[in-house]
Amino acid sequence: MKKLFVFIISVIALAYSINGQTCTCESNFEWVKKTFEENDAGFQYIIDKKGSAAHNIHNQQMLEKIREAKTLTECTKLLHEWLTFFRSGHIGIQQLIDEPISSQSVSQTLQKTETWSGDIVQFEKYIDTKKDADFEGIWEVGAYKIGIQKEGENYIGFIIESDVEGWKEPGLVKLKIEQDGDKLKSTYFMRDYSPDKSDNPELLGKSYLQIGRHTLKRLKPLFTDDPSVDKYFNAINSPNPFMEELNATTLYLRIPSFDQSEKRAIDDVIAANKEKILKTENLIIDLRNNGGGSDASYYELLPFLYTNPVRTVSVEFLSTTQNNQRFLDFATKQEYQEFFDETTREHFKELYEKLQNRLGEFVFLFNTPISIDRSDTVYEFPKNVGIIINEGNASTTEQFLLAAKQSKKVKLFGTTTFGALDVSNMYSVNSPCEEFQLWYCLSRSMRIPNMVIDDIGLQPDFYLDKTIPQYKWVEFVNGILNQ
């Protein structure tokens, strides 16, 4: 499985001609539309589900917007918007032309960007007098030093210091937190000035502020905080897997990613702690924000969870000339020879020929639609396994969860996962004008329509609601497992 791949890379550029072709947002849209509709394994399923009428209306509405696009930045976002009609994960549109934003465009944008009218020196003096922790303060996020001050019922965040081009001017408004009825809504302005809107900005302890997917750390005023807050952020921001002992009965395993490049590190952590795992009653596996990667990355973990045979539903591939080319490339191209031996390359050639013989159809490539993994070993320990999940989990991570939750030892804690698994095996092609790279999927799960995960996700056994701060999730799970 590939990891969650929904992204937009934005740069500024006007339509122009490449290799004699006229490159416009509309021409790129027609290519994206045709390529996706003819080759994506999930396209027809959504048409059957939502209906051709809804599809046609979406196409017309998007075409009207696309005809007004003036830059590649605008076009990229609109092409992505068109794709999200079909699903929110396992799709992508990436710009291939990387041009710097011109000083003129930056100047024009700055004229439209709101500037805070207060006095930064006086603000800093005021912040030094605060005794209570709230949104007000001086915060750090990435390369930005930001001040946040309350104005009426709302808060405004402005640049104090920044080395980021286009954001160096003190006072530029970087974020807003606004009252909307009985709720708070937030807007964080991205590097390209586009608004990233979210709900429920949240103080985590006294020293961290969560605004959507952006985490700010307080610089002033400083407060004594719950030690579990720093521990949470150290764990959640660690790029590497690790294991630690929470108490005599519980081990904690953090896995940030199942990317293929992380397999060795994950395996090493498991191997180094195998004896501890097999002698400890409880195991907590924290997968928050693990977006997926490779199935092989979690294989060494499965034996510790096993209690009974595990059933896995397979996938079928949409056979088109373009899609099948991937298998032929694996079989014949020099660049893949270091990854696949001769026997494997011959197998890819056989799969290619099988697919080519059934163009336009979904083709099952494996021996059986259901694989059943059995083991003669059921370890006594761990007796209880709590897996912490959230909306940042997708793809391979969800595939792991489907296997793990079949164990009698396992319970899931947290919030519903992202939902990007039914349509998978991502593939990319470049546009004729070489401006965009389109990512779509070659296969669909044979679970659908009876067990759909895309855009729905997997639900936890124990829902951790908003009254339980994220930095206390491990403590909560630890309490449940040790009851």
pLDDT, tens digit, 9 for 90 and up, residues 227-258: 889 899 899 989 999 999 999 999 999 999 99
How many residues are present in the chain?
A: 483
Residue 19 has pLDDT above 50, yes or no: no
DSSP-based three-state secondary structure for 450 = coil
Average pLDDT over residues 67-77: 90
Burial 112-138 (b: 16+ CB within 10 A, else e): eeeebeeebeebeeebeeeeebebbbb
∠ Cα 34 332 294 (to 5°): 70
Predicted local distance difference test score (pLDDT) of residue 98: 63
Residue 8 has pLDDT above 50, yes or no: no
* Higher pLDDT pick, 158 / 367: 158
CA 384 to centroid of chain Cα atoms = 28
Domains held by the chain: number? 3
Q: Tell me if 72 is assigned to some domain.
A: no
List the structure tokens of 170. 């003190």
Predicted local distance difference test score (pLDDT) of residue 186: 95
DSSP-based three-state secondary structure for 93 = strand
Predicted local distance difference test score (pLDDT) of residue 367: 79
List beta partners, residue 204: 208
Of the listed ranges 100-114, 171-185, 342-356, the one predicted with least confidence? 100-114
Average pLDDT over residues 301-305: 97
Of the candidates 145, 169, 191, which is a domain's last residue?
191
Domain shared by 167 and 116, yes or no: yes
Domain shared by 334 and 377, yes or no: no
Domain shared by 132 and 236, yes or no: no
pLDDT digits (tens, 9 = 90+) for 26-43: 999 999 999 999 999 999
Q: Tell me if 304 is assigned to some domain.
A: yes
Q: Tell me if 89 is assigned to some domain.
A: no
List the structure tokens of 349. 């050639």
Residue 18 has pLDDT above 60, yes or no: no
Predicted local distance difference test score (pLDDT) of residue 280: 98
Q: Tell me if 127 is assigned to some domain.
A: yes
Domain shared by 310 and 325, yes or no: no
Provide, rounded to the nearest whole percent, the portion of the chain with pLDDT above 70. 92
Of the candidates 143, 162, 191, which is a domain's last residue?
191
Q: Tell me if 349 is assigned to some domain.
A: yes
Helix axes 52-66, 25-39, angle to 10 degrees: 160
Residues near 25 by beta carbon (within 8 Å), at least 6 away in sequence: 15, 66, 67, 69, 72, 74, 75, 78, 79
Domain shared by 341 and 381, yes or no: no
Domain shared by 380 and 239, yes or no: yes
Report the C-alpha gap between 323 and 319 in whole angstroms: 6
Domain shared by 242 and 379, yes or no: yes
Domain shared by 465 and 345, yes or no: no
Q: Is the dihedral of CA 170, 175, 176, 182 positive or negative?
A: negative
Report the C-alpha gap between 55 and 40 in whole angstroms: 15
Element at 141 (helix H, strand E): strand 137-141
Report the C-alpha gap between 391 and 143 in whole angstroms: 26
Give the torsion through C-alpha atoms of 262, 264, 268, 269, to 10 deg. 10
Domain shared by 331 and 385, yes or no: no
| Residue with token string 């502020």 | 209
Burial 267-292 (b: 16+ CB within 10 A, else e): bebbeebeeebeebebbbbbbbbbbb
List the structure tokens of 210. 């969560």
pLDDT digits (tens, 9 = 90+) for 140-171: 999 999 999 999 999 999 999 999 988 999 99
Average pLDDT over residues 57-63: 97
- The answer to whether 256 and 289 have CB atoms below 8 angstroms apart is yes
Q: Tell me if 399 is assigned to some domain.
A: yes
Domain shared by 303 and 269, yes or no: yes
What CATH number should be reported for the domain holding residue 407? 3.90.226.10
Q: Tell me if 80 is assigned to some domain.
A: no
Q: Tell me if 342 is assigned to some domain.
A: yes
Cα dist. 3→264, 301, 447 in Å?
A: 17, 19, 19
Residues near 397 by beta carbon (within 8 Å), at least 6 away in sequence: 258, 287, 290, 291, 292, 293, 389, 417
Report the C-alpha gap between 443 and 334 in whole angstroms: 25
Mean pLDDT taken over the chain: 90
What is the span of the domain harbouring residue 144? 108-191
Domain shared by 337 and 233, yes or no: no
| pLDDT band at residue 301 using 50, 70 and 90 as cut-offs | very high
Q: How many CB atoms lie within 10 A of CB 245?
A: 12
Q: Is the dihedral of CA 447, 448, 449, 452 positive or negative?
A: positive
Of the candidates 191, 212, 247, which is a domain's last residue?
191
Residue 416 has pLDDT above 50, yes or no: yes
List beta partners, residue 420: none
Domain shared by 127 and 260, yes or no: no
